[in-house]
Amino acid sequence: MTDKKLLRLEVKLNAASRRWNKATARTAAAEEEEDRAEVEQNRARTRREKAEEKEEKRAEAFVRAHDRLMNTRAKSFKGLLVKVRAREVDYCDDPALDVEFLKSLVADIKATRS
């Protein structure tokens, strides 16, 4: 009777071992999937950070070009139209930029009159 009991216990032990091995494999697969997702998330974060850096540089270049254009005096009506077209490209709703634009146009008009 003891041997039969030992055989039944061995079967139970083997079944428990198989279930544990399957659970370990599922855990390893889940960890691997999580690691892949983390790597992809890190890559996405890096891409976003690089895109933000480029956007910042492009914005700075735009501001420099905008300032150069607004600080250059228009000598004729064509020059004034260039500034008006540039304002149409600059679609920002910032009231300070509108004031700057108008001041630049007024200064240009005054300069052409004298």
Give residue-wise pLDDT tens across range 34-64: 999 999 999 999 999 999 999 999 999 988 9
Task: Label residue 83 by pLDDT band (50, 70, 90).
Answer: confident
> Given this model, what pLDDT does residue 75 score?
87
Predicted local distance difference test score (pLDDT) of residue 77 = 87
Same domain, 52 and 2: yes
In a domain, 104, yes or no: yes
Out of 13, 32, 57, a domain closes at 57
Q: What pLDDT score was predicted for residue 66?
A: 85
Please indicate, yes or no, if residue 67 is contained in any of the structural domains: no
* 53 and 76 both lie in a single domain: no
Clarify whether residues 11 and 42 are in a common domain.
yes
Would residue 113 count as lying in a domain? yes
Number of domains in the chain: 2
Long-range contacts of 104-109, Cβ-Cβ distance < 8 Å, separation of 24 or more? 104/70, 104/71, 105/80, 107/73, 108/73, 108/74, 108/79, 108/80, 108/83, 109/80
User: When comparing pLDDT for 92 and 40, which is higher?
Assistant: 40
Q: What is the pTM of this model?
A: 0.63
Tell me, yes or no, whether 66 lies in a domain.
Answer: no
Q: What is the mean pLDDT of residues 75-93?
A: 82
11 and 53 in one domain? yes
Structural domain for 85, as ranges? 72-114
Same domain, 104 and 53: no
Residue 62 maps to a domain? no
| pLDDT-based confidence at residue 97 (cuts at 50, 70, 90) | confident
